Amino acid sequence: MPIRNEVLDQLAARRSVRVFTNEPVAPEERAAILDAAFNAPTAGCQQLYTILDITDPALRAQLADLCDHQPMIAAAPLCLVFLADCRRWPRAYRAAGAAPRDPGPGDLLLAVADACIAAQNAVTAAESLGIGSCYIGDVLENAEAMRAALALPPHVVPAAMLIFGRPTEQQRTREKPRRFAPEAVVCENTYRDRSEAELRADFAARDAGPGYDFDRDLQAFCARKYDSDFSREMSRSAAVYLADFLPGAPAEPAR
Amino acid sequence: MPIRNEVLDQLAARRSVRVFTNEPVAPEERAAILDAAFNAPTAGCQQLYTILDITDPALRAQLADLCDHQPMIAAAPLCLVFLADCRRWPRAYRAAGAAPRDPGPGDLLLAVADACIAAQNAVTAAESLGIGSCYIGDVLENAEAMRAALALPPHVVPAAMLIFGRPTEQQRTREKPRRFAPEAVVCENTYRDRSEAELRADFAARDAGPGYDFDRDLQAFCARKYDSDFSREMSRSAAVYLADFLPGAPAEPAR
């Protein structure tokens, strides 16, 4: 018998919500969502993130456009951008009279992890209040325009965008997309590639139904997602952010 | 009045546990922890991670050594490594007859986010079962030795390591480290640097107590953490993993 409790049931039932009722997220709900984010585990208790609460309708509309043209971003009652922030602590060190090294790619990956761990606590907190959410991975695209829109200085990188609101009836009752079976994504001790036969079985176990065809369906998904313009743009844009963290990046001014 | 419920209380109370009782994590508890990870939000329902369950004591001892010499990694009842996996889907695409592009840095950041979001659901699930946890950020260090130890192929990168177990009495009663006040880490709409006076106030609000001294304490933290050997190693190592995702990386073989 699988173990069950209220928290586990909620984590299992949670699915992304992309259409919201008009009911706002109340200030005390917003505070509870943010408080859960702050209370997430964080490397060395450093909170290597800054959270932007996007309240300006014009900025929301612009972000909706920059994030692969998704109007739900403008329509959502609450929109938070979790920035990996590799800037606050070096600025504090300098204010204290220290001369810290420049941020490197390890700092970026650690801060992205910190920001996403905090973001997922925000999701779980919202869910407990009946407030749905959806991650917007596209926030990583269009680095130059995003930097201008959000006034991002060097060493501050969008790690996750979340929109929040109460699900419409249709959103509440729709089925949760199926996950892979555990053996498809868990290995004991060391990494092992799934064989081609195992991959076919993994996808069939997840997706099989009327008209299912591994070759055709995966080819279509590859074209629609992985080889899409927005996916290529995401890597181009990520490289722009990354350049700040690689050797040869311009040094930070003293303050 | 802040809103409260069981989930919010649990997220607020959770703190890292680094010393565990001898009680094992039962198989059904492990299954519940993994199930919560699988059920986390994931970009396009792709589950862009592989989870390694490290059961081999010799490998645990090696990882404890590679992760800045932390013996608690060997001693923990359960140890999971969350790998950002940019390999499974391209392999499936190729198995289906497609010819996907090479993975880029956007794929890596998206997969790191996916892996950390799943990891944090594992943390929350464990907490609901009375099982504590601790992230080990050092898993990003020593890329060459880590790749050999975990048999990591190209485009598979450690995003998070988690150790789990029941807290000792000392761990259960110790104080949770204080977070920054909301205004220190949340901005409305656009990013704004905290002024030096604000930074001093932010740290004082978090840390002030007998003997507190912003300049001396931040200088010491900078030397001990940010400018430490392990922190420099983390960026060196991250650059090794990143090289796979940047232009000029060797192309993947067809299968």
Amino acid identity of residue B247, one-letter, is P
Residue A220: closest C-alpha in chain B: B98
- Name the one residue in this structure whose structure tokens are 């898993």: B139
Express each pLDDT in A84-133 by its tens digit.
999 999 999 999 999 999 999 999 999 999 999 999 999 999 999 999 99
Query: Which DSSP letter does residue A223 get?
Result: I
Q: Which residue in the set B49, B97, B214 is minimally distant from A185, CB to CB? A: B49
Is residue A122 a contact partner of residue A80, using CB atoms and an 8 Å limit?
A: yes
C-alpha span between B158 and B156 (Å, rounded): 7
**pLDDT value of position B247:** 82
**pLDDT value of position B255:** 44
B246, burial (CB in 10 Å: exposed 0-12, middle 13-18, buried 19+): middle
* Mean pLDDT over each residue of chain A, to the nearest integer: 96
Residue A45 in contact with partner chain B when CB distance is under 8 A: yes
Q: Which pLDDT band, with edges at 50, 70 and 90, does A248 fall under?
A: confident
Q: Determine the distance from the C-alpha atom of residue B200 to the mean position of all C-alpha atoms in its chain, rounded to a whole number.
A: 28
Q: Do B14 and A125 touch (CB under 8 A)?
A: no
Quick one: average pLDDT of A227-236?
96
C-alpha span between B136 and B75 (Å, rounded): 14
Per-residue tokens: A235: 């890597």
Residue B112: closest C-alpha in chain A: A113
**pLDDT value of position A252:** 59
C-alpha span between A82 and A26 (Å, rounded): 20
Q: Which pLDDT band, with edges at 50, 70 and 90, does A251 fall under?
A: low
**pLDDT value of position B251:** 65
- Pairing outcome for strands A156-165 and B78-85: unpaired
**pLDDT value of position A57:** 98
Which residues from A are below 8 Å from B237, CB to CB?
106
Measured N-to-C along each axis, helices A6-13 and B27-38 cross at an angle, to the nearest 10 degrees, of: 40
Give the residue from B3, B246, B235 showing the smallest Cα distance to B142: B235
pTM: 0.97
Residue B229 in contact with partner chain A when CB distance is under 8 A: no
Amino acid identity of residue A236, one-letter, is R
Q: Which residue in the set A47, A98, A185 is minimally distant from B185, CB to CB? A: A47
Is residue A77 a contact partner of residue A23, using CB atoms and an 8 Å limit?
A: yes
**pLDDT value of position B92:** 98
Express each pLDDT in A130-172 by its tens digit.
999 999 999 999 999 999 999 999 999 999 999 999 999 999 9
Residue B215 in contact with partner chain A when CB distance is under 8 A: yes
Q: Which residue in the set B40, B218, B223 is minimally distant from A120, CB to CB? A: B40
Q: Which residue in the set A51, A226, A232 is minimally distant from B93, CB to CB? A: A226
Residue B142 in contact with partner chain A when CB distance is under 8 A: no
ipTM reported for the complex surpasses 0.90: yes
Per-residue tokens: B16: 């890292």
Q: How far from each other are the two terminal CA atoms of chain A, in whole angstroms?
A: 58
C-alpha atoms less than 13 angstroms from C-alpha of A17 in its C-beta half-sphere:
28
Q: Do A185 and B227 touch (CB under 8 A)?
A: no
Q: Which pLDDT band, with edges at 50, 70 and 90, does A254 fall under?
A: very low
Measured N-to-C along each axis, helices B57-66 and B143-150 cross at an angle, to the nearest 10 degrees, of: 170
Is residue B49 a contact partner of residue B111, using CB atoms and an 8 Å limit?
A: yes
Instruction: Give A 49-108 residues with CB within 8 A of chain B.
Output: 49-56, 59, 83, 87-93, 95-98, 100-101, 103-108
pLDDT exceeds 50 at position A255 = no
pLDDT tens for each residue of chain B, 255 residues long: 889 999 999 999 999 999 999 999 999 999 999 999 999 999 999 999 999 999 999 999 999 999 999 999 999 999 999 999 999 999 999 999 999 999 999 999 999 999 999 999 999 999 999 999 999 999 999 999 999 999 999 999 999 999 999 999 999 999 999 999 999 999 999 999 999 999 999 999 999 999 999 999 999 999 999 999 999 999 999 999 999 999 877 765 544
Residue B5: closest C-alpha in chain A: A128
Residue B79: closest C-alpha in chain A: A189
Is residue B163 a contact partner of residue B15, using CB atoms and an 8 Å limit?
A: no
DSSP string, B176-234: PPPPPPHHHHEEESS--PPPHHHHHHHHHHHH-STT--HHHHHHHHIIIIITSHHHHHH
